[in-house]
Amino acid sequence: MFALVALVLFVAAEFVVGWWALPVVGLVLGLVGARRTLLVPTVAGAALAAWGLLLAWTAIYGNLGSFMHELAASMKLPYGGLAAAIVALPVLLAGTAARLGAGIRANPAPPAPVSAH
């Protein structure tokens, strides 16, 4: 269920806001699911699946070919490098943000020292 919720959140956020929603949603999911086993792979996989769904939607209803050509040119990458970047970007941004969120949640700030006067 967590993976499905993560997928829906990633699709909605990326559709509305864009790629920079990946680390934001990843961080929130890391904070919420800090104690889950396989948190980072689950979040990274959901981000990658959402990325793939949005690219598939663009291929069906948009002009994916010209988008990919412009993206490759703007990133100064050959098409093979672009394919690697397309896979790596959501995995790295969402996965590391989820790990950060889980680390924040698992390690709360220490209490302030109490002085005895």
pLDDT in tens, 40-70: 999 999 999 999 998 888 888 888 788 788 8
Residue 22 domain-assigned (yes or no):
yes
Structure tokens at 7: 């997928």
Q: What residue type is assigned to position 102 of the chain? A: A
Domain count, the chain: 1
Angle in degrees, CA 63, 60, 47, rounded to 5: 95
- Give the pLDDT band of residue 3 (cuts 50, 70, 90): very high
Residue 113 domain-assigned (yes or no):
no
> What pTM does this model have?
0.79
CB 11 within 8 A of CB 85: no
Residue 112 domain-assigned (yes or no):
no
**How many angstroms separate the CA atoms of 35 and 105, rounded?**
9
Which residues fall within 8 angstroms of residue 56, CB to CB, at 6 or more apart? Answer: none
pLDDT in tens, 68-115: 888 788 888 887 888 888 889 899 999 999 999 998 877 666 777 777
Domain, as residue range, for 33: 2-106
